[in-house]
Amino acid sequence: MKAQAADERVEFQLKLAGVRNVKAAKALLGDHDGDIAALKKAEPWLFTNAKSAATTGTTGLEPAGVAKDKDATMKRWRRLAGLDESDDE
């Protein structure tokens, strides 16, 4: 039971550090004497950058569904719903 608690604690700390793959990080953690900061420094590809993850999609690009102009989007949806007359008609 103590081993399970310790394992969950390590998993939680890895997630807080922004790990992409907990299983891979646990496998490599032994090579760094259990030091998550040392693992993060040695294997930066295994961790996400919290700032970039919040502002971009999983591909590193801006999400395609993000509306730039809320007024234009609402006008389009109102036109499609038949609530406003279209300029095309």
Model confidence at 68: pLDDT above 60: yes
Instruction: Supply the pLDDT for residue 53.
Output: 45
Q: What is the pLDDT of residues 24-46, one digit of tens each?
A: 999 999 899 889 999 989 988 88
The letter for the amino acid at 52 is S
Dihedral of the alpha carbons of 24, 29, 30, 36, in degrees to the nearest 10: -170
What is the rounded CA–CA span in Å between residue 54 and residue 43?
A: 21
Q: Is residue 19 within 8 Å of 46, Cβ to Cβ?
A: yes
Identify the three-state secondary structure at position 87.
Answer: coil
Model confidence at 52: pLDDT above 50: no
With pLDDT > 90 as the criterion, what percentage of the chain qualifies? 18
Distances, alpha carbon 4 to alpha carbons 7, 13, 21, in Å: 5, 14, 19
